[in-house]
Amino acid sequence: MYLSKEEERIYDGEAGWAKEISIKILVKLGEIFDAERLIPIESAHISGVSYKTAGDAAIDFLKSLVNAGGKVCVPSTLNPSSFDEKLKRLWCVPREYAEKQNTIIKLYENLGVNLTLTCTPYYIKRPRSRCHVAWAESSAIVYANSILNVYTNREGAPSALASAIIGKTPDYGLHRDENRRPNIQIIVDFKIKREDELGALGFHVGRLSKNFIPAIHGIEKLKEYELKLFGAAMAAGGMTPMFHIGYAKNNVERIHVGREEVNDVIERLSHEENEIDAVFIGCPHCSSLELNYIANMISGKKIKPDIKFIVCTSRFIAEKSREAVKVIKKAGGWVVCDTCLVVAYIEGLKIHSVLTNSVKAAYYLPSLGNVRVSLADMERCVKFAVGLT
């Protein structure tokens, strides 16, 4: 892999250990994927924040970087952590656990990372089309490549952080136009009526596509927030980092998807809903539009006393949508920032069965949250929470 004089200097440790280890991570990655060089990036989005998933190893690594004077050199945002500071007591987060989580956040702050604590950094600042970034967080990666036309590979926590410190990423994969073309055609043979069908379709397409980039006919009329749900589910179902909407211009293999396959996914991920004790919306984190939609539906109503109604969003969006937040809280709902039910410390909530509109959440919650999950669209989730179904 070609390295400039300056990059070689960093590689040889002349700019300190933090930069040295970072460029070595990037060069190793570049060599694995046959990249010829490093290219500049405009931003990084870093995962590996929740203590629940990152653990003590993350603390040790971050400490070493901070002690070696590590600093990010491009605008860098942070994925959700494992609690909302304001609700920490209500969620019964143990003191030692909270301290470790706060240590992780503090270390990222010391590295110069913007403490956005959200999986939807594009709502805070929409990157410009065709720019190169290094993002971790699978749902944001799919959104960036497919909807924003921003170029990123599917980074992991270490490579996104290494890129943030060097300001570069290896030039391979989705950074190259020739690798962004669709190489499989998915044709949806039915009309998508509900969000859970949409998510299940995304999950199924993720499974089908494997490492291919699908062009998907049948999702042309979806709105941006629906594509967000679709893409998040797709990234949960497989490794696909990008999709195209409509027909591929080139001649590629075609696969038809019918309602039965999508219903199969729903049946596998969704259980009976007679014991539900929580409703969760906001995976990925809600936009202002979604918060307003929920607020409009819930206005003047009350959440059932035996239900926890949890809406997750970023602090930035909550601040921007103060009226909607007020309405949801007045109805008895929780607007939770900086975390989500999947990566949060939820043991203290004592919930056993969750209703959600997110297939990504439905896929991860049983293993990461030890809860059963039912799927429904947002409207039904809200109606259930206020006792209208």
Binding site for ligand F3S (CB under 6 A): 79-80, 119, 139, 232, 283-285, 312, 340, 342-343, 360-361, 364
Least distance between ligand F3S and beta carbon 346 (Å): 12
Beta bridge partners of 271: none
List the structure tokens of 13: 């440790």
121: Cα separation from own chain's centroid: 9
Q: Which amino acid is at 191?
A: K
CB of 118 to ligand F3S, least distance (A): 8
171 SS3 class:
coil
Residue 370, SS3 per DSSP: coil
Q: In the complex with ligand F3S, which residue's Cβ is closer, 184 or 235? A: 235
Give the distance from CA 280 to its chain's centroid. 15
Q: Which is nearer to ligand F3S, 23 or 242 (CB)?
A: 242
Which residue's CB is nearer to ligand F3S, number 80 or number 333? 80
| Shortest separation between residue 340's beta carbon and ligand F3S, angstroms | 3
Instruction: Give least dist CB 40 to ligand F3S, A.
Output: 27
CB of 350 to ligand F3S, least distance (A): 20
Q: Which residues contact 254 (CB under 8 A, 6 or more apart)?
A: 185, 186, 187
What span, in angstroms and rounded, lies between the C-alpha atoms of 76 and 127?
12
Choice between 266 and 283, CB closer to ligand F3S: 283
Tell me which residue has tokens 């379709």.
Answer: 201
DSSP-derived 3-state class of residue 184: strand
Nearer to ligand F3S, 22 or 356 (CB): 356
By beta-carbon proximity to ligand F3S, the closer residue of 27 and 234 is 234
Q: How far is the CB of 46 from ligand F3S (least distance, A)?
A: 12
Nearer to ligand F3S, 159 or 314 (CB): 314
Least distance between ligand F3S and beta carbon 348 (Å): 18
Q: Strands of 244-245's sheet, edge to edge? A: 244-245, 214-217, 184-188, 254-257
